[in-house]
Chain A
Amino acid sequence: MLIDLFSIRRTMKETFDTFSLELEPQYGEKSFTFAPGQFNMLYVYGVGEVPISISGDPTRHKSLIHTTREVGTVTRAMRKLKVGDTLGVRGPYGSSWPVEKAVGCDVVIVAGGIGLAPLRPVIYYILSHREKYGKVVLLYGTRTPEDILFRKDLEKWRGRFDLETHLTVDRATGSWHGNVGVVTTLIGRAPFDPLNCMAMVCGPEIMMRFTVLELQKRGVEDGKIFISMERNMKCGIGLCGHCQLGPTFVCKEGPVYTYKNLKDVFLKREM
């Protein structure tokens, strides 16, 4: 189990409880390759190791960006790290979003909350190969306007004519001029061809459940809906057993699954 050492080049506060770290390798080859949707195991000295999705640009190999929410001991310690500090990195692990399969299709990206982090590499990838895809739609929902991740990116993306970006929040006060309502409300009228598209969905499980229903209502096939699952992971390589989701290991077959392959499992409780 190899652990590579990386230095923190930049830290970014995203929202009140989420942050991003940009890393660069300390030794060896100064580049890093991953597929959108994959994750790394990040190790904070003496505290522990956690799986964190890679949120940076897969076409730029010189830096590695992770975005996470501060929810446990390790992510709390991670947030306190400063530029120049060392992190251990293992990976990348897991399955990825079908950016190659989606060539020639419309792409619908539905993200909820921190679920935008593992999907951002998809958007970066598509934008740098934009001519290969049909219509591209990003539908993003958060709890409140303060919880919106990657504001700068979103502003840039909204300004593009080749990317439809729609934001919505679950609740807001008068100063918010955007949409209010759950993210699923954006699906019904989003401009994409349900018969020739790939849908990539990431967010809380319950949000993904309702999103799948709306996509099905539009006529998107189960085999063209992709979702990303989250489970406890201690090793990331299929040995510790913690991330089992019924017949699969989320670290191996996941985190990205086609809905078609997962649907017998997805609706089973406490599986």
Chain B
Amino acid sequence: MKNSMVVIVERKDFQNLFDVLSKRGYQISGPTLRDNAVIYDNISAVEDLPVGWTDHQEGGRYRLEQTNKKSLFACVVGPHTWKKILYPAEHTFIQVKRNGSKLEITSAEKKPPKSALIGVRPCELHALAIYDKVLKDGPYPATSYLQRRQDLFIVAVNCVNPGGTCFCASMNTGPKATSGFDLALTEIINNDRHYFVVETGSKLGADLLKEIPNKEAGIEETQTADKALQKAAARMGRTLDIKGIHDLLYRHFDDPHWGEITKRCMTCGNCTMVCPTCFCVNVEDTTSLDGRQAERLRKWDSCFTVGFSYIHGGSIRATETSRYRQWMMHKLSYWQNQFGTLGCVGCGRCITWCPVGIDITEEAAYFRKNDK
């Protein structure tokens, strides 16, 4: 954004952000601890954040650990994504009433509360931009998404401490937020000082900031933040070389290696549920017991199910191999044809939350290594 402003907000003043957002009628969501994981839920105070916790992530492994620092954002992304709020897992969108042979069809969309998201990571901002292309910018946008997206206030957090399965640097999606936010924070704990370098990304963000005690950022403070982010970019747990990846995977469409991957893949669909860009949904119709009312619901679906591609006579993708290939090629190849961008933002969730630790970066590297 032109005229973007960089200021410093001290840790002790950080609660003001929550208060100002609440005062302006926002329902605030952000990272919080539950069942030994950091998830996204409604929060109202700094204490709701995973204060002092950090995470260790590897293929098929996620562990939280308490540190002696009191960081608010030392955990990177967990099993939740913002689609939980913006495109809920289950959503009723049509209601039908029957009266004899006559039907009355009405929209079941309700105006959602104004929502503020705190702690959106740079990779997730990119995921939102991708969601916008899929659900907002097409000829038939998804109403519920439009409504939720409209009044969204986004507080991004830059990643000074990337996780073990992160690879945003190689996807050009992080670790620093460049656009798509109202405010972007870099959390710095330096000796005894705990503060946030805050960049404004919108007029609204700048306006809101007026109500939070802040001071102009000094060169040293911004340099500290920049350095931390440069270091973070060099400390990614994974890398994925995306050069020519579209054609690379096409060339290997019939590679028997897909079959090797699916010896491990259980087609559980975890990777699709935790993916911030996976958007596939099923549509279900239900009827009340007396038969007078029916509803149409949308539910997250996964291309790993056999039923996903079912047409009369059988499924198009009947083998596990074809379903894993569909998922990975969709992310890295087809997505580019469909929406002009990659469908992967390098958040690493699919690696962490795969029960057997299948690693999209490893598999992409295999095809590259074995490319003739």
Interface residue ranges, A against B (CB under 8 Å): 1, 3, 5, 43, 45-49, 69, 71-72, 84-86, 88, 230-232, 234-235, 237-242, 244, 246-249, 264, 268-271
Contacts and interface: CB of A to CB of B under 8 A. Distances in A.
Contact of B103 (A88, A241, A271): A88
B294 interface: yes
Contacts of B281: 234-235, 239-241
Main secondary structure of the interface of A (DSSP, over half): loop
B303 interface: yes
29 contacts: A5-B105, A45-B98, A45-B103, A46-B285, A46-B286, A47-B285, A72-B312, A88-B96, A231-B311, A232-B309, A234-B282, A237-B139, A238-B138, A238-B139, A239-B138, A239-B142, A240-B298, A241-B280, A241-B301, A242-B280, A244-B326, A247-B333, A247-B334, A247-B338, A248-B338, A270-B321, A270-B322, A270-B325, A271-B326
Nearest to B295: A46
A5 B106 CA distance: 11
B172 interface: no
A1 B334 contact: no
Given A241-B303, A269-B322, A247 B337 contact: yes
B143 interface: yes
Contacts of A269: 322
B330 interface: yes
Nearest to B103: A86
Interface in B134-164: 134-135, 138-140, 142-143
Interface string B313-327: 100111101100110
A173 to B, nearest CB: 26
A3 B94 contact: yes
Given A45-B294, A241-B301, A246-B329, 16 more contacts: A1-B93, A1-B94, A3-B94, A5-B105, A45-B103, A46-B286, A69-B312, A231-B309, A231-B316, A232-B316, A240-B281, A241-B280, A242-B309, A246-B334, A246-B337, A270-B316
B253 interface: yes
Given A49-B283, A237-B139, A3 B308 contact: no
B191 to A, nearest CB: 50
Interface string B15-36: 0000000000000000000000
B287 to A, nearest CB: 4
Contacts of A72: 312
Main secondary structure of the interface of B (DSSP, over half): mixed
A232 B311 contact: yes
B308 A232 contact: yes
B139 A241 contact: no
A239 B140 CA distance: 8
A88 B319 CA distance: 35
Contacts, number: 113
B283 A234 contact: yes
Nearest to A70: B312
B287 A86 contact: no
Contacts of B319: 270
Contacts of A264: 250
Nearest to A239: B142
A206 B296 CA distance: 35
Contact of B311 (A5, A230, A246): A230
Nearest to A86: B103
Given A241-B280, A241-B281, A244-B330, A1 B143 contact: yes
B99 to A, nearest CB: 10
A88 B296 CA distance: 12
A207 to B, nearest CB: 13
B322 A3 contact: no
B105 A268 contact: no
Nearest to B97: A45
A75 B329 CA distance: 33
Contacts of A239: 134-135, 138, 140, 142, 279, 281
A46 B330 CA distance: 33
Nearest to B250: A264
Interface centre among B285, B296, B317, B326 (most CB of A within 10 A): B285
B311 to A, nearest CB: 5
Interface centre among A49, A72, A86, A270 (most CB of B within 10 A): A270
Contacts of A238: 138-140
Nearest to A238: B138
The 10 closest A-B pairs by CB, nearest first: A247-B337, A241-B280, A270-B322, A46-B287, A71-B312, A237-B140, A234-B283, A46-B294, A48-B285, A86-B103
A247 B98 CA distance: 40
A53 to B, nearest CB: 13
A240 B311 contact: no
A204 B280 CA distance: 26
A71 B311 CA distance: 9
B366 interface: no
Nearest to B319: A270
Contacts of A230: 311
A253 to B, nearest CB: 9
A3 B106 CA distance: 9
Nearest to B135: A239
Nearest to A88: B105
A248 B294 contact: no
B101 interface: yes
A45 B334 CA distance: 35
A48 B138 CA distance: 24
Contacts of A232: 308-311, 316
Interface in B96-143: 96, 98, 101-103, 105, 134-135, 138-140, 142-143
